[in-house]
Amino acid sequence: MDGLPVFFVGVRCPIEIIMERRIKTWNAGYNHDGEVPKPIVLWQELVHIPGVYDMEIDTSVYSREECAKLIRQRLENGQPPEAFQLIKNIETE
């Protein structure tokens, strides 16, 4: 796969929507004290490090199909990806 472009998409969603979806899907939600469980908070923070993307989408705003369409449009009509190279440069500094 050497030489193929890498396209990074940041998939975002507000924590409130994530919790609604968890409750609906797994019947598991907030802690007994009403707080968001720590593993979920940590995931939301750590998964976006270093936060460099070629595009970002919010799954609370767009459906799965709309997200896929936006990504396809960007791939077909947008500027070339650069996030991977930017991340490589951050790591070598």
Domain interval for residue 51: 9-92
Residue 1 belongs to some domain of the structure: no
Residue 4 belongs to some domain of the structure: no
Run means of pLDDT, 10 residues per run, the chain, 93 residues: 84 96 95 96 95 96 97 91 89 70
Residue 17 belongs to some domain of the structure: yes
Q: SS3 for 90? A: helix
pLDDT digits (tens, 9 = 90+) for 51-73: 999 999 999 999 999 999 999 99
Residue 18 belongs to some domain of the structure: yes
Burial letters 13-32, b for 16+ CB under 10 A, else e? eeeeebbeebeeeeeebeee
> Got the DSSP string for 23-44?
HHHHS--S-TTSPPPHHHHHHH
Close Cβ partners of 60 (under 8 Å, ≥ 6 residues apart): 13, 14, 17
Q: SS3 for 83? A: helix
Number of domains comprising the chain: 1
